Chain A
Amino acid sequence: MKCHVPGPNVKVLGRTVHVLARFGDELYLESLPDCVLLKTLNASESAYAMIKFNNSFFSYFKYNFYSTEDNESLKCKISMKSALNAFKSPTHMDKQVENLEIKLDPDACKLIFQFKCKHGIVKTHYVSILDCKATQAVYTKDQVPNRIITSQRLLSETLGNFQSSDDQVTIEATNQSLILRNYVDANIELTKIIRTQINLKASEFDSYTVGVDTTITFTLKEFRALLAFAEALSLPIQLQFETTGQPVVFIVHNGTTFEAHFVMATSKPDALTQTQASSQNNSRTDYKRKEVNNSVGPMKKKPHLDIDISKCLDEDSHLFNYIDIPEETDLRPEKNGTTEANAAEEDNLQEYMDCDIPGSPTSRTKIKSVFKRCFESTFDPRSIQGVKLVENSDSD
C-alpha cells in the first residue's frame, strides 16, 4: 500500500494518532482496497478505537502498490510511541508539512512515513512492524435503542464541572434528561470526594433518542481524549449505547473522508453515589477496615522480628482494642442477629442527624463478628448494660 496525505489532512492524521495514544499502547494499521483503518485497544481491553480514512482523504491511494495479489488486506501493528514520534505537535503540522507519504510493503519489516516539509526538507520515519495481525472489536452501533447527537462543546463544557481527579463518569439517561455524575469508587472514603451531578435537558442536544432508560459508567480519561479530538476538528459527537454492561460507542465523522469509532466498556453504576444503600455501605467499610488491618499488621510486626512472638501478639491485639470501645449501638446488632442490623442502622441514621461527627457503627459490628474470638478474653460484660468505659467524645 502506498498513499499520499495532503498537508491539511496530515494535521487530522496527527490528531488521530494522538487520540489513539490516549487509548492504547499499540497501533494497528490496516489497509483495505478503498480505505485505511487505524485501530487501538487498551491493555485491559476495555476501550477500543477505530478510525477509518476513506480513499478521498488521500491525494493518492494505491492499495496493491507492492503486490498484485488482491485477496488479503494489508495489516500491521506498530508501537504507539513510534507513531507518536512521527506525529509530534499536530497543531503546527499543517504549516510545516506539505505532503506525507505512507508506504506499507507486506514483505518488509518497516512501515515508512515520509514527510515532505517546506523548504525541501524530507523527514523519513522507518517504524518497525511488530506484528501482522489485526484487531477487531465486536460491537453493535446502529441497532441500539439509545442514540444521542451533540455538539462537542456541550460535552466539554459539562465535563469541565468535574474534578480532574475524577476518573469515571456515570451517565443516567432517561427520555427527558441526561444526568452525568462522577463515579465514586467503593474504596474511596466518601468524606474526601466531591460528588458532582450535572443535569442536561434533552432539548440541549442536537438529537436525542433514548428508547430504554439506562445507567452506564465508563472512564473519563478516554472520554476526555475523544472530546479533545472532536473539539480540535469541531465535529459533533454521536453517542450510541444500550444498557449497562454493553459498550458505549462514540462516533465522530465528517461525512465523507473519515469516521472515528470509540468504543468503551461500561460497568455497573454505583448505587452508592447518590442513593442511600446502607447494606452496601456496610460491607464496603468493612472491607476497608479489614484491609487496613492487614496492611498495618505486617508493618507493625517488622521491627519486632527478633523479639519474641508474644510481643508481636501484644502489638496486634492493640489493633483490635480500638474497636472495642463499648457503645450501645455496637452491641445491638450483635445480639439481635444480622436481620436486625439494617433496622439498627436505620436507627443510627436517625440518631446521626443530631450527631455532629458521623460514626461508622456498622463496620464495627462486622469487624466484631469477624474477629469475635479476639474479643472474647478482653470483652467487658459490663458494657452490655450500657456502661461507658470511655465518655462519649461527642456530647452533641
Chain B
Amino acid sequence: MKFRGIMIDAGPMREFTNIVTTISKLSKECVLRLSDDKLYFIVSEDNSGPAPPVLWCEIPQVVFFSEYQMIGIDEEHKDIYLSVISANLAKSLVTLKSAKSLKIKLTKKQCPCLTLEIEMQSVISQQSRQVTHDIPVVVVPRKMWSDFHEPKVQTPDISIELPTLKQLRTTIDRMRTMAQEVVIRASAEGKLTLQIKTDMAKVSTRFKDLRVEAFEGPIDHSDSETESVAIEDISKLCHCRVDAKKFSMFLSADNISHNRTICSIVHKKLVILCLYTQENVKLQCFITGIVY
C-alpha cells in the first residue's frame, strides 16, 4: 500500500483546506478513500452501525495534485480506505492557505500515519521552512469497504437549484431556534419553500424562480394529509421533512467556492444536497426524511 501526492498551486490548496474544514464541521470521523483518479471523503452517520454514508465528496486528483501516485493492496483492491479524525486533518491544514507546497503521503511511524509535509513561506525572510504533521489513521480492512460505497438512491422526484447558501443558512439557523424539523417543499414551477411548525406559529420562507433541473412527474399525494395549498397544482409539488440541524450543517459548506448547489428530493423520503465546484469537486449530503 503506497500513496504519495504533491500539491503546489495555491488555489487548489486553499480549496482542499476549505473542503476538509467543512467536513470536519460535519463529522468527527471520516473515511478518505484514495483511488487512481479521485479522492473521496466519506462520512457515515456516527454510531449507527452499517448505514449508507451521509456525506459523499469526490475530488478529482488531476486538478488538485501535480503529482499523484498510489498502489493498493493488489490488483483487485486498488483503492485505499483510511479512517481519519477529520478535525485532526483540518487543524493540520489550517496553515496551508499560506503554504508553498504540500506533500501528502501514507507512512508508518509506529502507527499508520498520513504525513503532511508543508513547505511554508516565511513571512519575515525569503526562506521556506518545512513543517511535518503526522496524523494517525486507521486503515479500513477490505471487508468493511462495502460500508463506504456510494449510496444508491432512487431517482429523485425533483431536482431544483438552491438559492445562495449563505442566505439559506441564515434562514435555516433562525428556524432552527424555533423547531427541530423543517419541511422542504419544491415545485416543478421552480418554487422552494422551507417551513417550520411550532405550537405557536407556522413559519415559511419561499424562494421562487429557481431552476428546475429535473422533474419526474406527477407526485402521488393520495396518502398525505390535505393541508397543502389548494391553489397550486398539487401533483407538481414534492416535499420532505428533515432534521433542521443536519440541513444547516450542509449549508456551512458555503466557504467552498462553488458553482451551483442542487437540492434533490425523493418525495417524503430523502433530500440530497449536492454542491459542485469549478474544479469538479462534488460534495453530496444525504438527509433522510422524517416520516410521521
Residue A367 at the B interface, CB < 8 A? no
Residues of A within 8 A of B125 (CB): 203-204
Residues of B within 8 A of A168 (CB): none
Residue A272 at the B interface, CB < 8 A? yes
Residue B277 at the A interface, CB < 8 A? no
Residues of A within 8 A of B110 (CB): 190, 272, 276, 281
Q: Mark A148-192, 1 if CB is under 8 A from B, else 0.
A: 000101100110110100000000000000000000000000111
Shortest CB distance A177–B (Å): 9
Contact B92 A196 (CB under 8 A): yes
User: Please, how many angstroms separate the alpha-carbon atoms of A230 and B120 in the complex?
Assistant: 23
Q: Which among B91, B113, B124, B129 has the greatest number of chain A C-beta atoms within 10 A?
A: B129
User: Please, how many angstroms separate the alpha-carbon atoms of A352 and B112 in the complex?
Assistant: 10
- Select the stretch in B138-146, B178-186, B208-216 that faces chain A: B138-146
Size category, A interface: 20 to 34
User: Please, how many angstroms separate the alpha-carbon atoms of A194 and B95 in the complex?
Assistant: 15
With A190-B110, A204-B122, A356-B141 in contact, do A199 and B136 touch (Cβ < 8 Å)?
A: no
Residue B108 at the A interface, CB < 8 A? yes
Q: Count how many chain B residues have C-beta atoms less than 8 Å from C-beta atoms of the other chain.
A: 32
User: Please, how many angstroms separate the alpha-carbon atoms of A352 and B131 in the complex?
Assistant: 27
Contact B123 A198 (CB under 8 A): no
Residue A197 at the B interface, CB < 8 A? yes
User: Please, how many angstroms separate the alpha-carbon atoms of A204 and B111 in the complex?
Assistant: 33
Residue B193 at the A interface, CB < 8 A? no
Residue A201 at the B interface, CB < 8 A? yes
Contact B108 A190 (CB under 8 A): no
Residue A108 at the B interface, CB < 8 A? no
Residue A396 at the B interface, CB < 8 A? yes
Residues of B within 8 A of A161 (CB): 95, 120, 131, 133
Shortest CB distance B191–A (Å): 46
User: Please, how many angstroms separate the alpha-carbon atoms of A32 and B184 in the complex?
Assistant: 75
Query: B residues 112-137 with Cβ under 8 Å of A?
Result: 112-113, 120, 122-125, 127, 129-136
Residue B109 at the A interface, CB < 8 A? yes
Residues of A within 8 A of B129 (CB): 158, 198-201, 204
The 3 closest A-B pairs by CB, nearest first: A195-B134, A197-B132, A199-B130
Q: List 27 A-B contacts (CB under 8 A).
A: A154-B122, A157-B123, A160-B95, A161-B120, A161-B131, A190-B111, A191-B111, A194-B91, A194-B92, A196-B134, A197-B132, A198-B130, A198-B131, A198-B132, A199-B129, A199-B130, A200-B129, A204-B122, A204-B127, A272-B110, A274-B109, A353-B108, A356-B139, A357-B141, A394-B141, A395-B143, A396-B73
Which residues of B does A touch, CB under 8 Å?
A: 73, 85, 88, 91-92, 95, 108-113, 120, 122-125, 127, 129-136, 138-143
